[in-house]
């Protein structure tokens, strides 16, 4: 169970709720804050005070006063008018992340939401009622207006939602789950849609996948080092310490651990003095990509527990309109992660080329068993190159663009949701490139007949690859295998396999230490 209070939601919590289906509840202290915030809004309406989005219109229409009798219809109209997103529906994991993050933000008690509305939002998660949310249409500035409006419509029994694999009307979806729609009061529609939860939801799921892909890139590089007899001296601890970037040193340590016990890797001067950059500079390149991940993680960790509403209900006499909804912090973080993730694929593709090119590897051309008669892995490098090239287009920063909206009232926007969507596509592409490197490295090991010379850790990597692709002795399509391995990498299957092998080795070592001497 995950308890929401608006302050300490973590990426692990997100994973547990979104992927593992952990139940959510709001903490008692959070409920007190939510009720107090709601009371402040209702007093403002009763007193006839001018409060943006409560007794006024929205955006450029903020100067239009709304009388007390129209306060409630104003909120429903806001959802209906803003739910105009287009494109393919958001993936289910993103929808669940959006529900979770919006509930957590509202639980902070700065939005004036009614407790019943917040509770229903949580019930959508717990009962797996997933609003159908189009993926395109957010500028990422006044919050993710269009995506969140589609999400919120279901709360009032409108829009569409998926339940048990079936897409139903909002009212039918609620009824199937034994839930009832709410009637929105003053400010509630605005409280539901003014936030960054679409870009943050995509970003959170992308961060989880990127961590798995980054680890897989390190594992693939280690297996390639084995296949090409790379020079492990380049990962020397003292050498890397002279340029003390933490992530660089961590990648170097990981590679030394993975390659410990190998009879394949070489030392400086044994076969050659230096390797090509795609081998020699793995710590520097991979480490820099991990720096991008860490930066994005730090920004998302803040955003998971941020109030991104407008206006913010601070106290009895202090309700302030500001720009807390602006997505620029997440937009820049996602753009940075796009570049960092793309580089894992860029250098991986170069290692793939070294594996399949006989002039660089000294191995059978294109890793074919019978080159000439067979084309072997020639086109796998083409596919990797195509994915890398596509990533270069997607990596162009979305955040440098801005198109004014709402009659120029909203004259600078973040495009953060676009950046997040592009980032996830890049990471998906990277996973496939890394899968191709793993397949090629495994084939290179097979052709040389050196499986028994690998380090224990890289042997586990090879065994994981063999669950998807065996030694290739004749030409065959590998499309399905690449897709399956890419998806497994995204889901963390390789990382879990390596963690299990580490645990097994630790237990074995422990049992040997405690075994009585005969």
Residue 49 reports pLDDT greater than 70: yes
Do residue 230 and residue 187 come from a single domain? no
- Domain hosting 174: range is 2-195
Q: Distance between CA 179 and CA 234 in Å, rounded?
A: 61
Higher-confidence residue of 435 and 53: namely: 435
Looking at residues 489-500, what average pLDDT do you find?
94
Do residue 140 and residue 256 come from a single domain? no
What pLDDT was estimated at residue 53?
A: 66
Do 234 and 280 contact (CB within 8 A), yes or no?
Answer: yes
What pLDDT was estimated at residue 62?
A: 59
Do residue 116 and residue 51 come from a single domain? yes
Give a yes or no: residue 469 inside a domain.
yes
Give a yes or no: residue 515 inside a domain.
no
Please state the separation of Cα 321 from the chain's center in Å: 31
Q: Where are the alpha helices (DSSP H) in 127-185?
A: 145-153, 170-176
Domain boundary among 143, 175, 195: 195
Our count of domains for the chain comes to 2
Looking at residues 313-340, what average pLDDT do you find?
90
Do residue 174 and residue 236 come from a single domain? no
Do residue 116 and residue 241 come from a single domain? no
Point out which residues pair with 166 in neighbouring strands.
Answer: 163
Give a yes or no: residue 102 inside a domain.
yes
Do residue 499 and residue 369 come from a single domain? yes
Do residue 426 and residue 486 come from a single domain? yes
CATH number of the domain where residue 37 is located: 1.10.275.10
Do 442 and 470 contact (CB within 8 A), yes or no?
Answer: no
Higher-confidence residue of 47 and 10: namely: 10
- Give 157-191 pLDDT, tens digit per residue: 999 999 999 999 999 999 999 999 999 988 899 99
CATH number of the domain where residue 376 is located: 1.20.200.10
What pLDDT was estimated at residue 405?
A: 82
Do residue 167 and residue 239 come from a single domain? no
Percent of the chain with pLDDT strictly greater than 90:
79
Residue 517 reports pLDDT greater than 50: no
Torsion sign, CA atoms 129, 132, 136, 137:
negative
What pLDDT was estimated at residue 516?
A: 43
- Inter-CA distances, 443 with 93, 175, 215, 279, 462, Å: 35, 54, 21, 18, 10
What pLDDT was estimated at residue 75?
A: 87
Least confident range from 6-20, 67-81, 179-193, 317-331: namely 67-81
Do 72 and 186 contact (CB within 8 A), yes or no?
Answer: yes
Give a yes or no: residue 453 inside a domain.
yes
Give a yes or no: residue 364 inside a domain.
yes
What pLDDT was estimated at residue 518?
A: 32
Do residue 229 and residue 190 come from a single domain? no
Residue from 52, 219, 297, 468 carrying the catalytic annotation = 52
My answer on whether omega of the bond before 490 falls inside 30° of 0, hence cis, is: no
Judging by DSSP bridges, how do beta strands 24-26 and 2-4 pair with one another?
parallel
Do residue 137 and residue 253 come from a single domain? no
Q: Which two tokens stand for residue 40?
A: 């402040």
Side-chain-facing half-sphere of 103: CA atoms under 13 Å: 32
Looking at residues 475-484, what average pLDDT do you find?
96
Give a yes or no: residue 375 inside a domain.
yes
With b for 16 or more beta-carbon neighbours within 10 A and e for fewer, the 393-423 pattern comes to ebbebbbeeeeebbeeebeebbbbbbbbbbb
Residue 511 reports pLDDT greater than 70: no
Looking at residues 81-93, what average pLDDT do you find?
96
Q: How confident is the model at residue 503 (pLDDT cuts 50, 70, 90)?
A: low
**Contact partners, residue 268, CB within 8 Å, separation at least 6:** 231, 233, 234, 274
What pLDDT was estimated at residue 512?
A: 43
Q: Where are the alpha helices (DSSP H) in 48-142?
A: 71-82, 92-106, 115-126
Highest mean pLDDT among 241-255, 317-331, 400-414: 241-255
Q: For residue 48, how many other CB atoms are within 10 A of its CB?
A: 10
Domain boundary among 175, 195, 215: 195
Do residue 171 and residue 294 come from a single domain? no
Give a yes or no: residue 367 inside a domain.
yes
Percent of the chain with pLDDT strictly greater than 70:
93
Q: Which two tokens stand for residue 475?
A: 């030409």
Domain boundary among 170, 195, 220: 195
**Mean pLDDT for the chain overall:** 92
Whether 52 is catalytic: yes
Q: Distance between CA 500 and CA 288 in Å, rounded?
A: 27
Give a yes or no: residue 442 inside a domain.
yes
- Give 334-372 pLDDT, tens digit per residue: 999 999 999 999 999 999 999 999 999 999 999 999 999
Do residue 183 and residue 221 come from a single domain? no
């Amino acid at each position: 169970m995950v308890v929401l209070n608006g302050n300490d939601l973590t990426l692990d919590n997100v994973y547990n709720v979104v992927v593992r289906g952990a139940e959510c509840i709001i903490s008692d202290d959070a409920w007190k804050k939510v009720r107090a915030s709601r009371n402040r809004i209702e007093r403002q309406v009763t007193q006839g005070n001018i409060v943006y989005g409560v007794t006024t219109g929205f955006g450029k229409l903020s100067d239009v006063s709304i009388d007390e009798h129209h306060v409630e219809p104003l909120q429903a109209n806001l959802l209906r008018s803003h739910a105009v997103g287009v494109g393919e529906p958001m993936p289910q994991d993103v929808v669940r992340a959006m529900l979770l993050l919006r509930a957590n933000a509202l639980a902070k008690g700065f939005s004036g939401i009614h407790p019943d509305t917040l509770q229903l939002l949580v019930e959508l998660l717990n009962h797996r009622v997933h609003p159908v949310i189009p993926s395109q249409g957010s500028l990422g500035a006044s919050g993710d207006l269009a995506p969140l409006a589609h999400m919120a419509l279901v709360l009032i029994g409108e829009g569409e939602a998926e339940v048990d694999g079936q897409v139903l009307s909002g009212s039918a979806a609620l009824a199937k789950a034994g839930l009832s729609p709410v009637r929105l009061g003053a400010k509630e529609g605005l409280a539901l849609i003014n936030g960054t939860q679409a870009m943050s939801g995509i970003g959170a799921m992308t961060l989880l996948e990127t961590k798995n892909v980054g680890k897989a890139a390190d594992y693939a590089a280690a297996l390639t080092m084995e296949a090409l007899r790379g020079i492990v001296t380049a990962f020397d601890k003292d050498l890397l310490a002279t340029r003390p970037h933490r992530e660089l040193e961590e990648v170097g340590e990981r590679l030394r651990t993975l390659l410990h016990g190998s009879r394949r890797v070489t030392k400086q001067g044994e076969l050659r003095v230096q390797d090509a950059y795609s081998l020699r500079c793995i710590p520097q390149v991979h480490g820099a990509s991990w720096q991008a991940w860490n930066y994005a993680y730090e920004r998302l960790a803040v955003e998971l527990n941020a109030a991104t509403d407008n206006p913010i209900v601070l106290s009895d006499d202090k309700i302030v309109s500001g720009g807390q909804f602006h997505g620029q912090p997440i937009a820049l973080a996602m753009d940075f992660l796009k570049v960092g993730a793309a580089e894992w694929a860029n250098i991986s593709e170069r290692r793939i080329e070294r594996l399949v090119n006989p002039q660089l590897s000294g191995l059978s051309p294109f890793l074919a068993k019978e080159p000439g008669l067979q084309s072997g892995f020639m086109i796998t490098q083409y596919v990797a190159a195509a994915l890398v090239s596509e990533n270069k287009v997607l990596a162009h920063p979305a955040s440098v663009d801005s198109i004014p909206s709402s009659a120029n009232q909203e004259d600078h926007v973040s495009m953060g949701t676009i950046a997040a969507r592009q980032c996830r596509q890049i990471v998906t592409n990277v996973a496939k490139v890394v899968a191709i490197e793993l397949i090629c490295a495994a084939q290179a090991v097979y052709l040389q007949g050196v499986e028994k010379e690998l380090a224990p850790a890289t042997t586990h990597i090879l065994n994981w690859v063999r669950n998807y692709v065996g030694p290739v002795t004749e030409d065959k399509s590998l499309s399905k295998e690449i897709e399956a391995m890419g998806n497994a990498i995204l889901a963390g299957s390789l990382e879990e396999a390596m963690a299990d092998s580490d645990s097994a080795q630790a237990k074995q070592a422990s049992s040997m230490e405690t075994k009585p001497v005969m």
